[in-house]
Amino acid sequence: MRAHPAGPQHAAGLGGPGWLTEPDDANDLLPQLWPSSARRGADGVVTVGGVPVTELAAQHGTPAYVVDEADFRARATAFRDAFAEAFADACGGADVYYAAKAFTCTAVARWLAEDGLRYDACTGGELAVALRGGTDPAHVLLHGNNKSDEEINRAVRAGVGKVVVDGFHDIDRTADAAREAGVRQGVLIRTTVGVEAHTHDYIATAHEDQKFGLSLASGQAAEAVRRVLARPELELRGLHSHIGSQIFDVSGFEVAARRLLGLHAQVLAEHGLEMPEIDLGGGFGIAYTTQDAPLSPTALARGMAEVVTAACAQLGVAVPKVSVEPGRAIAGPSGVTLYRVGSTKDVALDGGLHRRYVAVDGGMSDNIRTALYDADYSASLGGRRSAAAPVLSRVVGKHCESGDVVVKDEFLPDDVAAGDLLVVPATGAYCHSMASQYNHVPRPPVVAVRDGESRVLVRRETEDDLLALDIG
């Protein structure tokens, strides 16, 4: 590496002539961006879970999402164990809910249930996947800022452990559903704590001017407590906060926890109720490029345990049972996406420089995040080794949009050509779950790899699937 501040992967987010220093070797796979099993062989072929991507492409086609099952499950259990250990003395451990919105399917729900994690669902569809995968309903948390009556009723009848109350409208509807089902339903109150997470506006969720939660500063959250306590069909289990996504330190959680626990203490003083739980949400960041430096589950857990115990000591309250909700941090690094190059094109830039556009057979329908959040990704040649010089490249899709970009800036070998395989790492979260059929392009399959074998978890859509719902 000769001076490029972002490393060989990647040029993302840097602008101006000074950032165009070339990498030492565009064949390198940087470990923080890839599943732990990813390797490049002597022939240059990338393997994931012991399966060459050339074999995966031949068997399953491209584009294709590939998830390393062992890596996914190892990351899940690392969060489970780290938070259990960090909070063992303070409150007997912590519960880890997997945020299913990042990526879910029946097999994933089964893995999580087998490995002792809980399940955070945002819709009736995500709940259906959890139940189909064998999740204990008592271990399900139902989120949502606009839950339908049907979703609430289904969740309560199924026996979900907790419903997260996101507004006053949720309280009576959840209580009515519980009364009809003849149960007492546990609830958490989602509290907007006024913390500005340093992230994209669309994934910052604890400032005042947004759709989620009940404001702490305005008194809405305290009023929600009173309204929940007035409904005997509801059991107030505690408070919930989520400050945003792609967060790389615990400072935001420190402010959020202190404010949330302040309300926790106020409820104890005003109502004599010591709520048994507090949920600090998720949003833990991952590495998409070498500019990202995520904390390990152990570092996160220990940091958050210090924050919570210190705040409780200052307030003179016992430490409640803590829950967190990692999603991206488990699924994201465990997945890669395979693409086939269709064409290349060189475009002149200022200062005599140029950028190569590398068009692949997918795009914004299988990864909308670059267009939606201005997200950065990395990419590597997957099917062979190259000795060609690195060239600044932009990986783009096949859709009828100039914003159809998968990887904004990457150094790829000068000889990348039609037919080559490209692999984009860190795509296990929010790619499949946000995929669309834009331009009537069928969605890719999800293929799990482990111990040198692959199996389809979610099959590729076909044109027949596209037309099946079109009744003419």
pLDDT, residue 212, reads 82
* CA-to-CA dists, residue 398 to 112, 392, 454, angstroms: 35, 20, 27
CA dist., res. 177 & res. 143, Å (int): 16
Give the predicted TM-score (pTM) of the model: 0.93
Closest CA to 248 of 192, 211, 282, 295: 295
Strands 453-458 and 446-450: what pairing? antiparallel
Residues contacting 18, CB < 8 A, separation 6+: none
Contact 398, 404 (CB under 8 A): yes
The residue from 91, 105, 122, 400 that is catalytic is 400
Domains and CATH numbers, the chain: 17-68+334-468 (2.40.37.10), 70-332 (3.20.20.10)
pLDDT of residue 351: 79
Residue pointed to by tokens 């068009």: 359
pLDDT at 27: 72
**How far apart (Å, rounded) are the C-alpha atoms in residues 257 and 129?**
31
The answer to whether 343 and 359 are in contact (CB under 8 A) is yes
Which amino acid appears at position 274 of this protein?
E
Per-residue pLDDT, 24: 56
Residue of 391, 348, 375 lying closest to 434 (CA atoms): 375
pLDDT at position 196: 63
Asked about 400 being catalytic, the answer comes back as: yes
The pLDDT averaged over each successive group of 10 residues in the chain (472 residues) is 34 35 66 97 97 98 98 98 97 97 98 98 98 98 96 98 96 98 98 70 49 91 98 98 90 90 97 97 94 94 96 96 98 98 92 89 98 95 96 96 96 97 98 98 98 98 96 92
Please identify which residue in the block is written with the tokens 């803590």: 322
Bond before 63 cis per omega within 30 degrees: yes
Q: What is the pLDDT of residue 5?
A: 30
Residue 101 to residue 323: CA distance in whole angstroms:
17
- CA end-to-end span of the chain: 57
Residue 194, Cβ neighbours under 10 Å: how many?
A: 16
Give the 3-state secondary structure of the chain. CCCCCCCCCCCCCCCCHHHCCCCCCCCCCCHHHCCCCCEECCCCEEEECCEEHHHHHHHHCCCEEEEEHHHHHHHHHHHHHHHHHHCHHHHCCEEEEEECCCCCCHHHHHHHHHCCCEEEECCHHHHHHHHHCCCCHHHEEECCCCCCHHHHHHHHHHCCCEEEECCHHHHHHHHHHHHHHCCCEEEEEEEECCCCCCCCHHHECCCCCCCCCEECCCCHHHHHHHHHHCCCCEEEEEEECCCECCECCCHHHHHHHHHHHHHHHHHHHHHCCCCCEEECCCCECCCCCCCCCCCCHHHHHHHHHHHHHHHHHHHCCCCCEEEECCCHHHHHHHEEEEEEEEEEEEEECHHHCEEEEEEECCCCCCCCHHHHHCCCCCCEECECCCCCCEEEEEEECCCCCCCCEEEEEEEEECCCCCCCEEEEECCCCCCCCCCCCHHHCCCCCEEEEECCEEEEEECCCCHHHHHHCCCC
- Cβ partners under 8 Å of residue 274, min gap 6: 268, 317, 318, 320
